Structure 1
Amino acid sequence: MPMRIIDMATFVSLARNRHFGRTAQELNTTQPAISSRLTILEREYGCRLIERGDREFRLTAEGERALSTFQDVLDQLTDLRSELKNGGEGASHIVRIGAIDSVVGTWMPDFIEALRQSMPKLRVELTIEGTRDLVAGIQRGELDLIFGIEPAIGDAFRSFILCYFEMVWAAAPATIERELVYGVDELSQMPLVTFPKGTPPYAYVAPYFQDERVLASKLTSSNSLFAMINLVIGGFGAAALPTVAIARELRDGLLERMKVTKPFPPMPIVATYQTAVGQNVLRLVAEEARRSAERFCETAAPDSAWAPMPPR
């Protein structure tokens, strides 16, 4: 798990309070959470930052260096927030964001509203595309931050997983036997709706059947999640879909969650942002996205969406 702003802020508070309990109280959290954040930092840097013994609390030499750097970074972020709020030179900053349908239809509205509240002078340009096009866009420098199911790879990018979405097989009620538990062989005999061959979402579906040839004869494809949902509602076939994207359709009886013998793997939502241009602003925007995704996961139906767990 990558180091977060909250981890740096926790370390600075811990160094000031010299006590885990007081730090937890100040930050309105628990002592185990403070310890977990410290562990993240020490794993990130590969060294101990604090010597912890009986009645002793002392920063190591590495901890002293980290404290100075973290304080400078947090001060710069505070100045940047103030600048964006109050109309400094960053007031006209534009962030070009790209996202897949699954994000746009779930926590994206909350994310945009959170940006409006925290950085009202920031302008957002939103592009909705598939993961393959989003990755190509950020690699060409046309996008600053993307949310897809795969990261952009390279030294110029920073990526991390925001959340996971449960994936289920769904179909129109009239096209399936409600009580039947479908095995892979039964599913392979059905008409299927999926993303086009060669796209990252298709790469999640094909291994489920172990042989891509079973998809060739009864496949309807679309590069739009919402178009796929409408095709499935229309009876064109079954599809593997994120539960959170079809919650309303399931509730209204337009779609039925199929019983299957082989669960479908969850779909990761990955954030990637450029590190060469506007890194400070993009880091703040990416952290806001993390918080928005976490809030969504907390309110979503149980087991339908979850944030990654920090390492123990």
Structure 2
Amino acid sequence: MALTFRQLRYFLLLAEELHFGRATEKLHISQPPLSASLRQLEDELGVTLLQRSSKSVKLTTAGEVFQRQARRLLEELEESRIMMQRIAEGASGILRIGFTPAMLFRGLPLALQKLKSAHPGIEVKLLERSSSDQVEGIESGQLDIGFIHAMPLPDTLEKLTLASEPLLGCVPSHHPLAQRQSICLKDLCSDSFITFRRDLSPYYYDRIIGLFHVADLTPNVTHEVSHWLTVIALVANSMGVALVPKSLIDTQFSNVSFLPLADVSITHESHCIWLKDNEAENLELLISIVQGLQP
């Protein structure tokens, strides 16, 4: 005979009360069914769970262990029941989300946690892609929503600004510049400069190089990479200097210092994007959560 949830409930209440009379009153049953349920449970498990006498009832060592296990089983059952109820009442399906690694430091994990908590029936599929690849993926129907760095967008897409933050100088912590309160663009020109590849991110590349050119400066572009985290990692390994968004301080890389720019002011934006005519419920639920997280 297999264990039943009724047996577990009966046992847990009896284990709490340690008194057959009080347990039967709370269960609204007579004592014989309760005693029979306990005997069947012990026979199935092959152990004695309760020591009974005319004066007392107490848990055995096996009973104490099984009490914890039974409570956990019933809690998981209740969680499953609630989840199934939410699925029946709420949204379900797959939501395909594009992201760049730096979005992990711009609130994306928190938004997804809130989505899962409120709508457990929605299955999230994360796809790491560059910003331009996300734009193509959304237009082609491969992605439902994307989290990108700012770039020119086609008219077919809607956008929500997630963050607008200053760019900071990023230098190795042992670099002489790291001791300053702030730096100027010209201070970065004597070192190897790390930036994105232009073919991968022409918008960002042109903005940064243009910033130097306006000041009649030319950075020594030596390393071109694909991800912000790679930029930080190279700086941490003394491979050069860079300009990076302020939120990347949260990467907590060691051996890196972040310094404000004293002579120029330039911001970096990140966006959430989706098709204008996409009115899928799952998509709207995530957008609503993301909007609610904005300061």
TM-score (norm 1): 0.59
| Post-superposition offset of 1:84 | 9.7
Structure 2: distance between partners of 1:84 and 1:153: 40
What do residues 50-81 of structure 1 show as CA deviations (whole Å, max 9, x unaligned)?
xxxxxxxxxxxxxxxxxxxxxxxxxxxxxxxx
Structure 2: how far apart are the matches of 1:201 and 1:109? 24
Q: For residue 214 of structure 1, what is the amino acid of its counterpart?
A: T
Partner residue of 1:133?
133
- Which amino acid in structure 2 is aligned with residue 137 of structure 1? G
1:246 equivalent in alignment to 2:254:
no
1:203 lines up with 2:206 in the alignment: yes
Q: Residue 288 in 1 paired to residue 289 in 2?
A: yes
Deviation, structure 1 residue 223: 0.4
The residue correspondences of 1:293-312 to structure 2 (distance < 5 A) are 294=294, 307=295
CA distance in 2, matches of 1:114, 1:273: 19
User: 1:1-16 to 2 correspondence within 5 Å?
Assistant: none
Asked if 1 retains the 8 angstrom alpha-carbon contact of 2:91 and 2:119, the reply is: no
Q: Aligned to 1:290, what secondary structure does the other structure show?
A: helix
The residue aligned with 2:146 is 146
- Residue 100 of structure 1: CA displacement? 1.9
1:111 and 2:111 matched = yes
**Cα deviation 1:135-189 (Å, max 9, x = unaligned):** 122122211111112363223x322212223321111022333238543333223
Q: Give the AA of the match of 1:269.
A: S
After superposition, the Cα gap between the structure-2 partners of 1:269 and 1:111, relative to the gap in structure 1 and judged at 3 Å, is: same
Q: CA deviation at 1:263?
A: 3.6
Per-residue CA deviation, residues 86-118 of structure 1 (Å, 9 max, x unaligned), is 336952x21111112221233121111000011
1:282 deviates by 1.4
Alpha carbons 1:173, 1:255 under 8 Å: kept: yes
Of all paired residues, the percent bearing the same amino acid is 16
Q: Does 1:100 align with 2:96?
A: no
How many aligned positions are there?
208
Residue 195 of structure 1 and its aligned partner are, at CA, apart by: 0.9
Alignment of 1:204-243 (within 5 A): 204-210=207-213, 214-215=218-219, 217-243=220-246
- Equivalent residue, structure 1, for 2:263: 262
Distance of 1:213 and 1:262 partners within structure 2: 13
Mind listing any 5+ residue stretches in structure 1 that lack a counterpart? 1-82, 295-306, 308-312
Distance change (3 Å), C-alpha of 1:290 and 1:136: same
Secondary structure of 2:174's aligned partner? helix
Letter aligned with residue 141 of structure 2? G
Q: Deviations over 1:8-54 (max 9, x none)?
A: xxxxxxxxxxxxxxxxxxxxxxxxxxxxxxxxxxxxxxxxxxxxxxx
Structural RMSD (CA) = 2.9
Gaps of 5+ in 2: 1-83
Task: State the TM-score, normalized to the length of structure 2.
Answer: 0.62
> What amino acid is aligned across from residue 221 of structure 1 in structure 2?
E
Which has the higher Rg, Structure 1 or Structure 2? 2
Secondary structure in structure 1 of the residue aligned to 2:121: coil
Counterparts of 1:84 and 1:174, CA distance in 2: 57
Q: Secondary structure, in 3 states, of the residue corresponding to 1:204?
A: helix
